[in-house]
Amino acid sequence: MTPKRFMPAILVAGLFAACTGAASPSPAAPSTGPSASPESAAPSPSPSPTPVATVPSNQLIFAGKLVICSDIPYPPQEFFDAQGNATGSDIDIGFEIAKRLGLQAEVENAVFDTIIAAVTGGKCDIIISAQNINADRVKQVDMIPYFEAGQSFMVAKGNPKAINALDDLCGKSIGAESGTTEAFYVKGSDQYKGDGLTKECADKGKPAPSLKEYQKDSDTVLALQSGAIDAYFGDTPVVVNYATSKPDQFEVSSVPPLTGIKEGISVPKDKMGLRDAVVAALKSMIDDGTYNTILKKYNVDTGALKSSDVVPVTK
């Protein structure tokens, strides 16, 4: 999902294909963190017999485990399957990284607005949660590029508010998950590179949009479904997923998507050994094709990065 995005320029970009079988928008399921029962946590693959790198034992919360913070649901990157297990492209990438480091993966369901505090506070080892890489986040954690996604708007079926262009969003109510770069873009923020939609509307003599922030992405979708907001703003793969899985309720707006930006795996700045091990595991996944296989499974392979893109952003 961070998702969780950023970029001021508006460009027409290709929409991501929908993920089939993704979870429908519904309230978030319980945490699948370290204390979760086996029934609620996704089973991790067996540890790799030949780890590509070794993580210093003092840089893991629990010996032999890689605890991953992710804000669920945000399909197709992270969501709960019918059995309540965490799944999605981000989750599969995280489990494969753990496997290649000889570790067992566990998922901790977190709130996006406080997810960096969770990893720096020792609730998890890393974050994989559609976080756009931006300067504010890199001040707090190191971020390893692993995916790229644009940002799009979703409206109710039939587009009853006639939202067809960026200017049509002026004066409208827009829903976004709290702490995301979508929210920063609507209201204008120094965490978003640019003045934001509110100022763009003001410069054209148009009324400001009304931003409504929600703690969970699923709550934002429900708000659009109930008519509490006029448009939902999220990462393009997620918007397309919702619109395709619920075509009788939603559709992708014709407002041109925002340009894509790289998303990153976040690692505490004092855990360089862990960071470098994750880099090695991710690069090996890309090089042998496993990474692309995961993205294709969820129909998001248009956001794939090359091995050469996997360079930690540390400042």
Q: What is the pLDDT of residues 214-253, one digit of tens each?
A: 999 999 999 999 999 999 999 999 999 999 999 999 999 9
Mean pLDDT of 117-134: 97
User: What is the spatial distance between Cα 17 and Cα 14, in angstroms, rounded to a whole number?
Assistant: 9
pLDDT beyond 60 at 285: yes
Complete domains list, the chain, with CATH? 151-258 (3.40.190.10)
* End-to-end alpha carbon distance in the chain: 22
User: What is the spatial distance between Cα 5 and Cα 50, in angstroms, rounded to a whole number?
Assistant: 35
Please report the sign of the dihedral spanned by the C-alpha atoms of residue 172, residue 15, residue 217, residue 114. negative
pTM: 0.81
Q: What is the pLDDT of residues 53-94, one digit of tens each?
A: 999 999 999 999 999 999 999 999 999 999 999 999 999 999
Q: What is the pLDDT of residues 25-50, one digit of tens each?
A: 333 333 344 333 333 344 444 445 58
pLDDT beyond 70 at 108: yes
- Give the model's pLDDT for residue 214: 96
CB-based burial, 79-90: b 16+ in 10 Å, e otherwise: bbeeeebbbbbb
What are the Cα distances from residue 273, in Å, to 66, 115, 306? 13, 21, 22
Mean pLDDT across the chain: 86
Max CA-CA distance within the chain? 63
User: What is the spatial distance between Cα 268 and Cα 283, in angstroms, rounded to a whole number?
Assistant: 20
pLDDT beyond 80 at 23: no
Where is 219: in which H helix or E strand?
A: helix 217-226
